[in-house]
Structure 1
Amino acid sequence: MFTRFMTLVTKKKIHGTRFYATAKRFYKNASIIKSEGKFEIILDQMRLKTPKGNVFNINSEPLALAVATEFNSQRDKILQSEMHITTLCNTILDNPNNLTKYDIVTYIVNYLDTDAILFQTNENEELFQLQICQWDPVIEWFNERFGVNLKKSVDMDVCAISDGDKATLTRHLLSHNFGTLHGFMYGIDTLKSGILTLACTEKHISPEQAVLLSRLEEEYQSGRWGRVKWAHDLNQQDMQTRLAAVMLFVHFTSHATKIQQKEV
């Protein structure tokens, strides 16, 4: 899984070893070390720091390897826009908006009020039938998986999501750790759908499927009027890259933190 997802995954200056958004690559190799029970990223002989200047240290060894891989994948310039796992880790370590678990859970649950796949159109019969065919099975899965009863709307009014359903989803989400919740939020901002994001992180659908479902109307219109190949393809690939990073991040923050070495 690591190789498959890393294939998808794959401010003005550097002060000491601090990493900013855009800079010339100043190191030859990125590696990891274990220090005081956590894992740090080493750029040649220098310790990586977050944008706020904190030492970049995380609990998960596989996650640290993924970050090192992102750094080693950079060429002449460091492009933070391509380093989604590193960005997520920096957000967790710095927490620039001082968010709590409850803040993130509230954001996720309330996002369902405007979830993209809960709003379907009956003005175009062909598109409407496509939405029914492609989106409704995911909504049904979501309701069964989480024990809720979310309903779609065809009138573009605000969907009625009961307080009971919100409470149920809140309890489930609060069972996840702070890092995993950030991953969910990053996925939702990418897909504009909490339902698709959780379906993807629960491995009900793949990142590729999730992106195509989130772009269903755009893909339908492109099929009728033609694609601007470089623009549509680039956007789709960027979304797949971001979502693949989310999948890796959520997996590594939710599961074992250490890679077992095989004894010879």
Structure 2
Amino acid sequence: MKRIAPLASSPLFHTSCRTVPSPCPPALLQCLHTTLPRIATPLPITATGPPPAAPQPSASHHGERVDRRRRQAELLKRGQDMRASHMKPGTAIKKRFWRDVSVQTDHENNHLVSLDNRALRTPTTKNPLTIPHSKPHLATALALEWDLLVSAHQATRSHLIPLTSISARAHVLGLEDGENQSAASSGTGIRYDIINMLLRYLDTDTLLCWAPASTPTNPSDKDVRGESLRDLQVRTAKPILSYLAQNVWPGVELKPTLDNGSILPTSQPAATRAVIEGWMAGLPAWELVGLERAALAGKSLCVAARLVCEWSEYLKLGDMQGEAWERFGIEEAAKACSQEVIWQTGRWGEVEDSHDVDKEDLKRQFGSVILVVSGIGNTTQP
């Protein structure tokens, strides 16, 4: 019979045992202990009062989710009650100085958004914000935007009133163009600032920034269809550039802003810049402001020009040329500006509350551009 010695690395004790193989008698077994035994010393009880409560089990994930939804429902109900109170003292709705929002018309048959009986005004000139008579959908959207506000403090936040901000900018630009026709050519004014800024976007246009060509020995650069990122970008850009070269900027050849393997953007030729600058200088105020908003959102002047020309009530270029061009809407514009993001997220997955939020915000920005430039009025350049 053998005696199994405890492990030498035990935290309780350190024992070294010598075991004599069987069949030696038990008298020859000898154990050497290096840890001295110690007697536990109990401490006196000095605490007073009742004993502590027993630990409670933590709430399950399902219970936490139910509680969170209950709190969200309570907050939503509270907001609805505040909205329905209409200037009730002691609530946050007291800061809202208007009850009803409506769309009115002035003596020139233009649309006005009225807060009760007071017309909505621009923040800079303090003049009534007039919407052209050919844009009733935009006036209705503005009224809905202000009707959803619960306090006057929210009206100071531009992200809560995006249509109001872009409409006010177009209104002020239209007034400036009427007062000073040579503001853009003289290098002053809002129109000149917008054109100068958009020309800088042309040198780093998202639609013209193509990835380096993939090598044949690296299959990871291609998707399941055998298409590389550069092939996808070129395939997306060609119809847009073809439309612009035939209908918007005749004779202009837009070159890729990045050479293969280069990190410095290449500027477009001077003739190309001159043609595009002249085209922007002749745009109506509402179209130019819509072009600015779309370029800022998508980081692409080409995509912005394609979107504005598609939906403008004055720039019916595709119809005038008799070409059967595919419809270019919000989804198409968002995809054209996000080819690299779509490619990467398709391979590695999306980040929740990041990529999906950016995608929806981009669509919201392009939707506001369509509302601003479209209308039911004239179909020829005024």
Same fold (TM over 0.5): yes
Aligned residue number for residue 115 of structure 1: 205
Structure number having the greater helix percentage = 1
Structure number with the bigger relative contact order (C-alpha 8 A, sep ≥ 6) is: 1
What displacement does 1:30 show?
1.3
What displacement does 1:94 show?
5.0
* Residues 241, 136 of structure 1: alpha-carbon distance in 2 compared, 3 angstrom cutoff: same
In the alignment, structure 1 residue 85 sits paired with structure 2 residue 157: no
Inter-partner Cα distance in structure 1 for 2:119 and 2:168: 14
Aligned residue number for residue 242 of structure 2: 140
Aligned residue number for residue 115 of structure 2: 43
Q: Deviations over 1:202-247 (max 9, x none)?
A: 2252111111221111111111111123322211111111111111
SS of the equivalent of 1:133 reads helix
Inter-partner Cα distance in structure 1 for 2:377 and 2:196: 24
Q: Deviations over 1:143-167 (max 9, x none)?
A: 2322110111333433342222222
Contact kept in structure 2, 1:47 and 1:55, CA below 8 Å: no
RMSD value over aligned CA atoms? 2.8
Contact kept in structure 2, 1:121 and 1:127, CA below 8 Å: yes
**What code does the residue aligned with 1:86 have?**
T
What displacement does 1:129 show?
1.8
Inter-partner Cα distance in structure 2 for 1:59 and 1:235: 29
Aligned positions of 1:1-264 closer than 5 A: 25-37=96-108, 38-52=110-124, 54-61=126-133, 62=136, 63-74=138-149, 80-93=158-171, 99-122=189-212, 125=221, 126-145=228-247, 146-147=249-250, 148-152=252-256, 153-154=258-259, 155-203=262-310, 205-252=328-375, 255-256=377-378
**What code does the residue aligned with 2:254 have?**
L
SS of the equivalent of 1:32 reads strand
Contact kept in structure 1, 2:111 and 2:131, CA below 8 Å: yes
Identify unmatched segments of 5+ residues in structure 1. 1-22, 257-264
What displacement does 1:58 show?
1.4
SS of the equivalent of 1:202 reads helix
**What code does the residue aligned with 2:104 have?**
I
**What code does the residue aligned with 2:98 have?**
Y
The structure with the largest alpha-carbon Rg is 2
Aligned residue number for residue 91 of structure 2: none
Q: Deviations over 1:102-122 (max 9, x none)?
A: 332233234211111111111
* Residues 159, 193 of structure 1: alpha-carbon distance in 2 compared, 3 angstrom cutoff: same
Identity of aligned residues (%): 22
